[in-house]
């Protein structure tokens, strides 16, 4: 709830800033978008959970799994290549950190019915940014791309599994992301808030050694999905 209120507050703050920038008759950074290449950095918040698909037929009766996500953060760099006046290719390597609690509703034991999963990803996306024409000091855009994500917190090579309290996730993962945002041209720099969705392509779960494990056997697919609130400074 607190995260949603914060997102709403930031959304209205950015909207107000964009409105003020639009009203300003002075056009800031008029040649900024003529650069072939420019650089910047970004930071923001994220809330990631898992999309979980259960096996249609499994040996665990009444299997049910839910995820309680926590707020995380993301930080990184931006390298922007101008391909066309309305199209840019962006390389945005960074770090994503977050944590989640996975609850196995079909397990009664209070020790066994949940697992806390903390993840730190080396996030390496390649994103296309499609921008509308600039109007005074604002320019809306949409973006989409794919990313390689190296899970620095992965324990997939650990020989211990959930029977010893270890919930294992894969190290190498691929995702796609889509989003919308707005460029706001200020006196010294361009400020670009955006909201993005990120979705895993591959199955990220490392199955337990026991094929009938009550933790992993019911799961046919588990992949990251999340919402990013990102602020770029270029």
More confident residue, 213 or 75: 75
Evaluate if residue 44 carries a pLDDT over 70: yes
What's the CATH code of the domain at 14? 2.40.160.20
For the chain, give the percent of residues with pLDDT over 90. Answer: 53
Which pTM was predicted?
0.83
More confident residue, 233 or 102: 233
Mean pLDDT score, 27-47: 92
pLDDT of residue 1: 45
What's the Cα-to-Cα distance from 184 to each of 7, 13, 27, 143, 225, rounded to whole Å?
18, 12, 11, 16, 28
Mean pLDDT score, 106-134: 89
pLDDT of residue 27: 85
In whole angstroms, what is the distance from residue 210 CA to residue 52 CA? 20
pLDDT of residue 23: 56
pLDDT of residue 109: 74
Distance, C-alpha 145 to centroid of its chain = 12
Mean pLDDT score, 61-65: 65
Site of tokens 């770090």:
95
pLDDT of residue 159: 86
Q: How confident is the model at residue 29 (pLDDT cuts 50, 70, 90)?
A: confident
Which residue range is the domain that position 22 belongs to? 2-233
In whole angstroms, what is the distance from residue 231 CA to residue 189 CA? 13
pLDDT of residue 88: 97
Q: What is the pLDDT of residues 158-217, one digit of tens each?
A: 888 888 888 899 999 999 999 999 999 998 999 999 999 999 999 999 999 888 888 888
Mean pLDDT score, 86-103: 94
Could you give the number of structural domains in the chain? 1
- Torsion, Cα 157 159 165 166, to 10 degrees, reads 10
């Amino acid at each position: 709830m607190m995260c949603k209120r914060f997102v709403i507050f930031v959304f209205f703050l950015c909207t107000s800033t964009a409105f003020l920038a639009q009203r300003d008759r002075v056009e800031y950074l008029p040649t900024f978008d003529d650069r072939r290449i420019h650089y910047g950095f970004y930071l923001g918040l994220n809330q990631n959970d898992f999309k979980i698909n259960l096996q249609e037929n499994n040996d665990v009766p009444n299997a049910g799994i839910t995820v309680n996500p926590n707020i995380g953060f993301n930080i990184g760099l931006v390298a922007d290549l101008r391909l066309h006046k309305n199209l840019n290719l962006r390389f945005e390597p960074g770090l994503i950190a977050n944590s989640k609690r996975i609850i196995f509703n079909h397990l009664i034991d209070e020790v066994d019915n949940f697992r806390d999963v903390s993840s730190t990803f080396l996030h390496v996306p390649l994103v296309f940014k499609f921008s509308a024409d600039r109007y005074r000091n604002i320019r809306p855009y949409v973006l989409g791309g794919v990313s390689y994500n190296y899970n620095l917190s992965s324990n997939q090579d650990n020989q211990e599994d959930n029977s010893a309290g270890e919930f294992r996730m894969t190290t190498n993962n691929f995702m796609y992301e889509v989003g919308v945002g707005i460029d706001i041209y200020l006196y010294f720099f361009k400020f670009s808030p955006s909201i993005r969705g990120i979705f895993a392509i591959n199955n990220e779960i490392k199955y337990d050694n026991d094929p009938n494990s009550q933790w992993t056997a019911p799961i046919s697919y588990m992949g990251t999905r999340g919402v990013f609130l990102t602020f770029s400074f270029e």
